[in-house]
Chains A and B, each alone.
Chain A
Amino acid sequence: MSNVSEAEVRAEVRAWLQEHWDPQMPLVEWRNLLADSGWGMPQWPKEWYGRDLPVGLVRAVEEEFAALGAVGAARTGVRLLAAATLLEHASDFIKKKFLRRIVTGEDNWCQLFSEPGSGSDLAGATTRADFDGANWIVNGQKVWTTSAHHADYGILLARTDWDAPKHDGLSFFVIAIRQPGVDVQPLKQMNGHASFNQVFFSDAMIPPEHLVGRVNEGWKVAVTTLAHERRGADGMAPPVKRGGREGRIYVEERAELEIANEPYRWYPQRAGRTDLVIERAKETGANTDPVIRQEIAKLMILSKSAEWTARRARAAQRQGRPQGPEGSLGKLAASHVARAAARVHTMITGAEAMLTGKQSPREGIIAEILVSVPAVSIAGGTDEIQRNIIAERVLELPKEPRFDIGPFRNVRRN
């Protein structure tokens, strides 16, 4: 299907939707149809609920769905990150067991990578998994785990060999969260929300079939997840608004999103809300201040340029050109935009920037921007780590000297 034109794809999806789309259908039943037809995740392989569609044509499919108000596959949280990883590395058993329920939204997922002792240095994980002859037994702690409180499953990086060098002793698992050995405790953030958690494992169990890839080759699998995560920063589709549409399926979808999106309500704010800047400048009169006008212009130039850079990367990808440097910069660019936006919002808001909550500007949204932006340059790999990656992989600068070689047991750690 790799040589189809956009017009053909549009015609095909439109015809399919005409035949099948029914807003009165139960949500899960509809999404099972999506999984069977491949229209829910058309870029996935044909044998796994997709249609092998080139990534460049996915937007056309989404637009056809949106035009009819048709509900798509479940997309909240880290489910797609997990799915992308499983598609690349997992056994057919795992794919069969989990991918369909990812599309239908029946299972929620979380990413169990960071630990108190290792965040940037994920390969330094000390959560352990030991095979007892029948199952893998997990002990240790993960932290900053977004959405673990809603999750059914997690993708887990754990140490399975302490004598191997750091990167060679890790394994990658799918772990069930709702079991006695897993304890999820919410962790309150500086912006007052608690979207992430601490997750404690005491003799938690993982059946052997839930190993992804081979034992002690988990780092390779995690790298796939991380690569998708970095790319996600500039590839996120805007949420479809369906206000006012009627039908059973919308009621069920709203109920689902109510829960699934709960941890992410502040996410638009952490990106800086550049969309509000000009409105706010006009409504406060800050638009007459020549200094603030300069700062707004600087911010908007940055934010627009970041958007066009992401589009350049996608266009090159669509044309089948090798990825240029523009594809690796999205996450770092997003940090700069968010920070600049918080600065400009503060200038525009003046003394009211000292307030928070419903009585403060835009019912607390501005305050939420100011206290949420610091997350962007940390979550999903800090700015410093992004710069290391860009310098070493894109610019091919020499690596730094390392101090974490030899058996992991002997490596200095927290």
Chain B
Amino acid sequence: MSASTEPRHEPARRIQYAFTDEQEQFRAALRRFLTDKSPTTEVRRLMATAEGYDPAVWRQLSDELALPGVHIAEKYGGAGFGMVELCIVTEELGRALLCAPYFSTAVLAANAILNAGSETQKKSLLPDLASGKRLAALAITEINGNWDPSAIELTATPEGGGYRLNGTKSYVVDGQVANLLVVAARLPASDERLAIFTLDASWPGVERRLLDSMDPTRKIARIDFRGARADLLGSVDGGARAIARTMDQAAIALANEMMGGAQVMLDSAVAYSKMRVQFGRPIGSFQAIKHKLADMLLDVELGKSAAYYAAQTAATEDREWPAMASLAKAAATETYLRTALDCIQLHGGIGFTWDNDTHLWFKRAKSSEAFLGDANYHRELLMQRWGV
């Protein structure tokens, strides 16, 4: 199906613990598409390129499935669904390990624009993102690697009607291919408030460098801004809140993406355990293996429950949703990594080879561990958000 031809849904007002039939159909269609377009042979081909994605597949997932705008309102050119559908998409992408600038464009940049932009800016910026015409990246974190917005140092100095950006952003997902950059910056010393700015990546004063990322399926860049001209997104007053909202939404989308990957690791471990024979019997008949797999299943189901619940709270604007973002990210971080490690272990020597696919997901688990803040960081945030 195409998301844009489905009937519109009123945002659910209550937390749902089961996906609707429409959501399940959407997931199934998406999974078919991804099985076809993102086999690991393709993942391996694309991860070795500098751009890191296939423009033809990107066009298809934009034109046929309307994925980049799945959560963007129709008046801004999107499909009009919400956070739950966005998270279904990221879960499936995480499962297929699709190499594409989706998380950067749809999850990070588009949400930042939705959260911070004025009505006019949303109308001018979002349709091109929703249609997949333009790629965008969100630059928040700097060389210090601190995901807390309080650590932002890059400055935005007012000049004429606009601003000039000075400083360096790092760990910018898909920063090297983005056409549009969305940048969190701090006003000069007399003010120090945070705000979000947009600029075209091709404008003068922007210098981008692709970093060697351990997870080659997720490209990251360092970007120097030397007096680059940029436009303020929305108002300065709303900046800090918009950044926080965007980061929390991203944490939830990432948690779902991670659980998609964790499920693959579990399924792969189970399948291999049924097939591999040692001592005259399948290794899956050894209790040490069975019990480990049962624990992995429990772990994955618990992590999925947290990720799904967090998406529901965000979709319904539940009071608890920022706390749930941290909860889900912390849970997914531990689970994905543990499941990937166990999957390697259950494969024995072959699990440590380059040719075996397990390490592709393991590396995604690793990069996701630090991305947007690690488990310790989010557990502490959870405690603060719960008022402990």
Interface positions of A (Cβ within 8 A of B): 278, 281-282, 287, 290, 293-294, 296-298, 300-302, 304-306, 308-309, 311-312, 314-316, 318-319, 321, 325-326, 329, 332-333, 336, 384, 386-388, 390-392, 394-401
Contacts and interface: CB of A to CB of B under 8 A. Distances in A.
Interface stretch (B103-111, B189-197, B223-231, B283-291): B283-291
Given A281-B388, A399-B285, A391 B305 contact: no
Contact of A305 (B16, B289, B305): B305
Contacts of B386: 278, 300
A305 B300 CA distance: 10
25 contacts: A293-B383, A294-B379, A296-B388, A297-B382, A297-B383, A298-B379, A301-B306, A301-B327, A305-B305, A312-B18, A314-B17, A325-B301, A329-B302, A333-B298, A333-B302, A336-B298, A387-B291, A396-B274, A397-B274, A397-B285, A398-B282, A398-B284, A399-B285, A400-B285, A401-B285
A49 B76 CA distance: 57
Interface in B1-21: 16-18
Given A304-B327, A391-B290, A325 B297 contact: yes
Interface SS of chain A: helix
A400 B287 contact: yes
Given A287-B388, A394-B297, A395-B297, A388 B290 contact: yes
Contacts of B379: 293-294, 297-298, 301
A304 B297 contact: no
B18 A308 contact: no
Contacts of A401: 281, 285
B294 A282 contact: no
B298 A311 contact: no
Contacts of B293: 391, 395, 397
B380 A312 contact: no
Contacts of B282: 397-398
A59 to B, nearest CB: 13
Contacts of A306: 302, 305
A386 B294 contact: yes
B331 interface: yes
B302 A293 contact: no
B273 interface: yes
A398 B17 contact: no
Contacts of A386: 294
Given A298-B379, A397-B270, A401-B285, 11 more contacts: A282-B388, A297-B330, A297-B383, A300-B382, A329-B298, A333-B302, A384-B291, A390-B297, A395-B294, A398-B284, A400-B287
Interface in B242-264: none
Most buried by B among A281, A314, A329, A395: A395
Given A301-B327, A301-B330, A325-B297, A308 B17 contact: yes
A-B pairs, top 4 by smallest CB distance, nearest first, are A297-B379, A391-B290, A315-B17, A315-B18
A305 B331 contact: yes
Contacts of B290: 387-388, 391-392, 395, 397
B309 interface: yes
Contacts of B237: none
Given A315-B16, A387-B295, A397-B285, A308 B305 contact: yes
A360 B274 CA distance: 51
Contact of B274 (A297, A318, A398): A398
A84 to B, nearest CB: 24
A358 B330 CA distance: 38
Contacts of A309: 301-302, 305
A401 B285 CA distance: 8
A387 B299 CA distance: 13
Nearest to B309: A308
A321 B18 contact: yes
A314 B305 CA distance: 13
Nearest to B383: A293
